[in-house]
Amino acid sequence: MTPGSGGAVGPDPWVQRHWDWRAAGNFIGGGAGSGLILFAALGDTQGAPLVAALLGGLALVGAGLLCVWLEIGRPWRALNVFVNLRTSWMSREAAVAALLVPVTLAAAAGIPLARALAVVLAGAFLFAQSRILRAARGIPAWRAPLAAPLVVVTGLVEGGGLWLAIGALSGAPTPPLAWVWAALLIARFLLWPAYVRPLPERARRALEPAGRTLRWLGTALPFALIALDAMRPGPATAWLALAGVAAALAGSRVKHALVTRASFNQGFALARLPVRGARP
């Protein structure tokens, strides 16, 4: 068997098998959900669109955490995740999530100062997620210096895109914060090649399809749709909503590939390989 085909080991790197689509689902749902909460609480959204965005963000965060719960071999021992707050970023992510839920619900209910606190907690949740991958020293694609910034920016682009879609579909005017989202879209596009370039060749090849998705579906198409929306004065149109969804889908594709396709471990080097029948 070759490494990665069924758990065999050898000197060549192979894709880790501990984290699968469920772990990717946590990064996808948690990143997009926390980004959506952050944009909704930070922007000037009011009324039903604000409530929809906040509750939608919570639902995505919850879906991501549910994926992690499903991945645990003994799911009923999930509360043990809270015992390693001093050393584990996964524990810190869970602790922040426990605070994020009631605070976001309070913000949706219109309680004063809850929106500001939701911004802080959503940002903390997204930061904790980015450090989870960074802490995996045995995976070159995860421990890369730009891996954490890429996860943060991608989560903001995903959440901001969904926030724009909710606002556009509700007929609200294009918010000023949309320009911040467009800047983040450019930042993600520029950050991607800088992140991929120093990775090992196997990881770069595994990320090529996701990179094409990011380039065309996640960047070129959204900006084309933004231009179409800008040609029509008045409230935001479905073009802007489609731009936000496309950018979010591309980010999800990138995270899935990063966790499940490009996660080659370090491997190890042997100065001398044993040969049957040969004397040491």
pLDDT at 153: 97
Query: If DSSP codes are grouped into helix, strand and coil, which group holds residue 75?
Result: helix
User: What's the average model confidence in pLDDT over 5-20?
Assistant: 63
User: Could you tell me if residue 173 is left (phi over 0), alpha (psi between -120 and 50 degrees) or otherwise beta?
Assistant: beta
Burial bucket for residue 222 (CB in 10 Å: 0-12, 13-18, 19+): buried
Contact criterion met (CB below 8 Å) for 243 and 142:
no
Distance CA 128, CA 97 (A): 10
pLDDT, one tens digit per residue, over 158-189 is 999 999 999 888 877 777 888 999 999 999 99
pLDDT, one tens digit per residue, over 204-235 is 999 999 999 999 999 999 999 988 888 877 66
Q: Which domains does the chain have, with CATH numbers?
A: 21-260 (1.20.1630.10)
Instruction: Using pLDDT thresholds of 50, 70 and 90, give the confidence band for residue 44.
Output: confident
